[in-house]
Structure formats: C-alpha cells, structure tokens
Chain A
Amino acid sequence: MSGHRAGRITDDEISELISKLQSLLPESSRRGAAGRSSASKLLQETCRYIRSLHREVDDLNNRLSELMATMDGDSPQADVIRNLLRLL
C-alpha cells in the first residue's frame, strides 16, 4: 500500500492522520488544543488512553479468568461459554 507514494508524506495526509487518531480518543481530550501544542497533546492523550485501555483489559481478563475457574461445569454460565465456543 505504501508503494504508490512517490515522495514525502503531504501535509494534508498528516492532518488527516492526526484527525483520525483524534477521533479515536475519548471526547474529553478534544477540547480546544489548536496551534503549537496540539501535536504533543495528541501524543499525550493517546498514551494516556492506551494505558487506561491496558488497565481495563487486564481487569476484565482477570475477572473473566476467575469466573471461568470457579464456574461449575453444570452451571448455566458454563453453557453460555460452551455455546459461545461452538458459535465461534
């Protein structure tokens, strides 16, 4: 996909990339931030967001693993998991 680019990335492409990234970040980080500090702010918000996503993923994975470990094989929850695996 990068093969079609003859020279350097254009300013337009960079702006588009930045606004796409910005649209992935939570609402609260989009206030103001025009001008010289917007690049570093964007990077900072991205790192913060990734950190919080990592934390959340860890919490959820640990919780799910505990649920599965203590789940009785005959319970309705175990059925949910089994059906899920069959559907996937």
Chain B
Amino acid sequence: MRGPSARAFQQGFLKNLILSLQACGSKARVSSSGSASATMSLQERKRAIKSSADIAMATARGGGARWPRAILASPPSSSRPWKASSPGKVRARSRKIVRRCFRTRRSRDGTGGGDSFARTRSVVSSSEIARRLVRKRTKVLRKMIPGGESLDEISLLQEAMDYVAHLHAQVDVLRRISNAVQ
C-alpha cells in the first residue's frame, strides 16, 4: 500500500484513534474525581484502547474489504480471538498430528521401531501431511482475520493481504506519533 491511499488511511485512523482515546481519558478522569470507587481497571482500560484502535482502523479502511465490516459488526471482545492459541501450542499440535499418523500405521502392523517410517510413507504420504498442515494453518489464519471464518481460501488470502498492509500502516503511523510526542 503506497502513497496517497496509505496516507489517507493513516490520517483517518489517527484522527479516530486520538478522538476516542481522548474520550476514554476524560471518562476516566471524570469518574475518578466524582466518586470513591475506582476508575477503569488496567485490564478494562487496555480493552477499551484495543477496541478503540480496532474501530478506528476499520472505519478508516472503509468498504474495500470485508474485515472492517466484521470488526464493526461484532462486539469488541471477539474481534481478536487469536490469543487462545500461542504459536508454540500450534506447532506442538501440528507435530502431534504428524506423530499420530505414524503411530497409527505402526500399531496396525504390529511392528514397532525404526523402519516404520519407510512403510508409513506409502500409506500416509508426505503430500497428505502437507495437505493436513495447510488445512490446520488455514484454520488458524481464519481466526486471525476478522470475518475470516466464512471466507473461501482465495478470499481469505486476499483479506489477509489487505489486513496485513493496513496493520503495517497502523504500526508505522503509531511509531511516528509516539516518537513525536515523547
């Protein structure tokens, strides 16, 4: 994403973000001065910031992709469900599945140990394993793209590209602002 469209997005995003952060901040200040009970907890505040940023990004993106609509349509807590699975867990699960393929063949044969790899390869081919890995990882990718669950694979890849490009632009502008106001 280059030039004028990137800049337009960054400006729109920043404006929406700053306005809603200001609103968050003033709400917190008002309640702290007005009542004995505490302001938003740190967790709540972080969640509010996250949802402000997601909404700012979605509204700045506009209608050219599906993920903005998915963000705006769903409640804030569900727009980022990826946290359920860490990268380590996903890798471990993939390895487990591959191991299970080999183990199943071995127990059916009644043989154990060393040479089952050569034998297993003819039944659970490497291309089958590759297909299963692709399916698994496509599932993970669906969870990371807002609205990704209902997309076909091609659209999912297109959405992923658009989403990545805009996340990148978001990081870029936030870095520059942070440096400017520090």
B130 pairs with A61, CB closer than 8 A: no
The answer for the CA separation of A24 and B158 in the assembled complex, in Å, is 12
From the candidates B25, B82, B133, name the one contacting A69 in the complex (CB within 8 A): B25
B160 pairs with A50, CB closer than 8 A: yes
- Could you count the A-B residue pairs with CB atoms below 8 Å apart for me: how many are there? 125
Segment 1-44 of B: residues with Cβ below 8 Å from A: 11-12, 14-15, 17-19, 21-22, 24-25, 28
Q: From residue B27, how far is it (CB to closest CB) to chain A in Å?
A: 11
A44 pairs with B137, CB closer than 8 A: yes
Interface residue B164 (Cβ < 8 Å from any Cβ of A): yes
Q: Contacts A69-B25, A71-B181; is A61 near B17 (CB within 8 Å)?
A: yes
B49 pairs with A62, CB closer than 8 A: yes
* Interface residues of B, dominant DSSP: helix
Q: How many residues of B contact A (CB 8 A)?
A: 53
Interface residue B74 (Cβ < 8 Å from any Cβ of A): no
Segment 89-118 of B: residues with Cβ below 8 Å from A: 90
Q: From residue B11, how far is it (CB to closest CB) to chain A in Å?
A: 5
The answer for the CA separation of A68 and B130 in the assembled complex, in Å, is 48
Q: What 6 pairs across the A-B complex have the smallest Cβ distances?
A: A43-B137, A60-B174, A40-B133, A88-B15, A53-B167, A77-B181
Q: Can you list 23 A-B pairs with a CB-CB distance of less than 8 A?
A: A14-B154, A17-B154, A24-B161, A40-B130, A43-B138, A46-B164, A50-B82, A51-B144, A53-B164, A53-B168, A54-B80, A56-B171, A57-B167, A60-B174, A61-B49, A62-B49, A64-B181, A65-B49, A68-B181, A69-B28, A71-B181, A81-B18, A88-B15
